[in-house]
Structure 1
Amino acid sequence: MKKTKIVFLVLFVVLMISMMLANSFGSAKIKLDDIFYIIYNGVLDNESALPEAYLPINDIIWLLRLPRIILAACIGCGLAVCGVVMQAIVKNPLADPYILGISSGASLGATAAILLGIGVTLGENFVGIAAFIGAFLVSLLVVFIANLGGRASSTKLILSGMALSAVCSAFASFIVYFANNAEGMQNITYWLMGSLAGAKWELLEIIVPISILSTLFFYTQSRILNLLLLGDETAITLGKDLHIYRQCYLLVSAIVVGFAVYAAGMIGFIGLIVPHAVRILVGSDHKVLVPVSGLCGAIFLIWADVLCRIIIPRTELPIGILISLIGAPCFVYLMIKKTYGFGGN
């Protein structure tokens, strides 16, 4: 337990340092002492006292970089925690937040919004809102179909998700095929690659509470999540019926993933890679796994976004591409590592 507290404390400190350091990277280099000075005055609502020379830097930090860094931390945390939960729900080490058709639902929603103009009346973020609605509706359908003909099990949830994923992908391809809109197709492609460039303080008012509250919720459910890995038969002998918990966790995860898609498009691999890496570090007890995965996911996405901003001069690499390039080799390494096993230490 002492080791766990030390790991948690170290990761929290690393997260705070990462959020501060990440402000210094970008097309405009900013010194660390200037960052501390500007954030300190901003927190104290003392911006009017800033010298005129600091005003451009103040705008860069408070309007561009800091919202983006906080959004990266929240989405990284949310996707990593949902990855832990999904792997417990379906008892599958290859599960991630998008396995149950959520990504295909979001993709269909975004495609319909961009190429058919569905949801234009919802405002400038109508593509993200349509993607969120698509992701959440598909999650509800997965639960509904998995319960047809008997109670939902982990196997039925996976199969329902795969079936709906295929249907959503087919509809999205159908829309793209008949739309004949080159600009729209380019926008869809870029959106599906993910980006944190749209970060705003108004958006964070929604994302931050959802990320924190969902992580706290799943932390309080650590005992049930441990039982999910053991299976329904074992849980029943201990007096717990996992059926309702499985569906509740799936819907909460869908809300988190839906808002992540709404805010930043499709960002994969985090919910798959981070939980496995954390299990090597702290074991498979969800009381530890959930918060540590959240912290590691936040740190990982912050630095992935920094790399996207600086790896190619004067342009920004879509974050989905970079994470896939990093995540795929890491996942192969985890698979061939003989000392690692899903659900074990």
Structure 2
Amino acid sequence: MERNRFGADPAYLLVCLVLLGALLLSLLAAVSFGTVSIPLGQVYEVILEELRAMLPGGTASAGGSVRDVVWLIRLPRLVLAVGVGMALSVCGAVMQAIVKNPLADPYVLGVSSGAYLGASLAMLLGLGGLLGGSAMGVLGCAGALLVSLGVMALANLGGRSNAVKLLLAGTALSAVCSGFSNFFIFLLNDDHAASAVVQWSMGSLAAADWGSNAVIVTVAVLSTLFFWTQYRNLNLMLLGDDCAITLGTDLHRWRLIYLTVAAVMVGFAVYKAGLIGFVGLLIPHVVRMLFGTDHKKLIPISALLGAIFLVWADVLCRVVLPGNELPIGVLTALVGAPVFVYLMARKKYGFGGGD
């Protein structure tokens, strides 16, 4: 593996601490931005009051419009942005290693198309009465997970799976799911339902709440820690199966385990935030340019940088159009695409392995 430009491990640890501090500061600063501007002093008063109320013997906080905006609307969606940004960035790095393709992201193996198919079915079958407002999210999550399992099963037909077979299976199932989604929307012939599915597919953090945030952030953090411990196998995946076997490691079983864990991470993110593209593609590439391809550094830094990126992306979504909210998936594509093109235009860049 190539040496990163920051050299020694102390510099890497320092950057991790700086990014962690930047994430906490970003959360505190971003709460004050929105359609209604709230002074930082009032924001911190509300947060401290709510935290004191959680302590043993604490008294319930006083209500009020400022408290509702800060504690029930803005802060939950920013915490959701942390969990989703972390999940998508880490999954992007892992997916790129699994399929040994620098253009891979969390949705490359059919996950996004499976989620879109699930959301379409939720509207077509009218499951809103049964599952409430979460119908599209629940079936979108289920679709993402089922398609990921289907990709693994298809890639194992006719022999053991490898990076190429996983990529081809994902491309095939992605096309099938997209076709069925459009077919069902066409059969439904309901402009309102079609508009709802399309809007959900563009992503939003507006449905955030503390209960689901606790689950999503926990899954994202635990999965990130798991992948962090697997950095040696992820590094070997960039070298290829033949090289890994000569070193005494069979990557087949690990590749399926990693894909399953990544699918769970993306499934939870899709459930609450819809489809948010480009985060899992852009963030790992930025980190590779600064720190090299070693997943021991790539995984934690991608998690922190992805969380920070999505926090400020959510802020921009709320302020760029006065009186309206821009879908966060649209913003990440508009910001991410030009940056990614610039990164790819640079001459000194390597994906890893034999590159």
TM-score range, shorter chain: over 0.9
Contact residue 50 and residue 61 of structure 2 kept, 8 A:
no
* 1:170 corresponds to 2:179: yes
Deviation at 1:162, TM superposition (A): 0.5
Instruction: Name which of 49, 55, 65 aligns with 1:41.
Output: 49
CA distance in 1, matches of 2:188, 2:36: 40
Within 5 A, what are the aligned runs for 1:36-185? 36-45=44-53, 48=60, 55-118=64-127, 120-185=129-194
Q: What does residue 325 of structure 2 align with?
A: 316
Superposed CA deviations along residues 258-289 of structure 1, whole A, max 9, x for unmatched, are 11110110000000000000111211111111
1:260 aligns with 2:263: no
SS at structure 2 position matched to 1:298: helix
1:48–1:273: structure 2 CA closer, same or farther, 3 Å change rule?
A: same
Residue matched to 1:10:
18
Of 191, 214, 217, which aligns to 2:223? Answer: 214
How far apart are 1:39 and its partner, in Å? 1.0
Amino acid at match of 1:4: Y
Alignment partner, residue 197 of structure 1: 206
Which segment is superposed worse, 56-65 or 245-254? 56-65
Q: Deviations over 1:12-61 (max 9, x none)?
A: 110000000010001111111222222112111156465x7xx3211111
- Of 55-64 and 260-269, deviating more is 55-64
* Alignment match of 2:347 (pick from 331, 338, 345): 338
Alignment of structure 1 residues 269-280 onto 2, 5 Å? 269-280=278-289
Quick check: 1:115–1:181 contact (8 Å CA) kept in 2?
no
1:130 partner SS: helix
Consecutive unaligned residues of structure 2, counting only runs of 5 or more, are 1-8
How far apart are the structure 1 equivalents of 2:115 and 2:332?
19
Which segment drifts farther, 260-269 or 39-48? Answer: 39-48
- Measure how far apart 1:343 and its partner are: 1.9
TM, length-normalised to structure 2:
0.94
Question: Which secondary structure does the structure 2 equivalent of 1:239 belong to?
Answer: coil
Counterparts in 2 of 1:255 and 1:119: CA distance versus 1, 3 Å = farther
In the TM superposition, residue 122 of structure 1 has moved relative to its aligned partner by 3.0
Task: State the identity %.
Answer: 54
**Hey, what does 2:6 align to over in structure 1?**
none
Unaligned runs of 5+ in 1: none
From the superposition, tell whether residues 197 and 261 of structure 1 become closer, same or farther in structure 2 (CA, over 3 Å). same
**Pick aligned residue for 2:38 from 19, 23, 30:** 30
Q: Distance in 2 between matches of 1:29 and 1:188?
A: 31
Rounded to whole Å, the distance in 1 between the matches of 2:123 and 2:276 is 19
Where 2:113 maps in the other structure, the secondary structure is helix
> How far does the alpha carbon of each residue in 1:210-239 deviate from its partner, in whole angstroms, 9 at most, with x for none?
111111110111111111111111111111
Q: 2:259 is matched with which residue?
A: 250
Task: State the AA in 2 paired with 1:317.
Answer: L
How far 1:106 sits from its partner (Å)? 0.3
Q: CA RMSD in A?
A: 1.4
Instruction: State how many pairs are aligned.
Output: 342
The 1-side partners of 2:123 and 2:75 are apart by: 29
Q: Work out whether residues 214 and 252 of structure 1, in 8 Å CA contact, stay in contact via their aligned partners in 2.
A: yes
Paired residue type of 1:19: L
Q: What per-residue deviation string (whole Å, max 9, x for no partner) do you get for residues 296-319 of structure 1? A: 000000000000000000110011
Change (3 A) 1:174 1:245: same
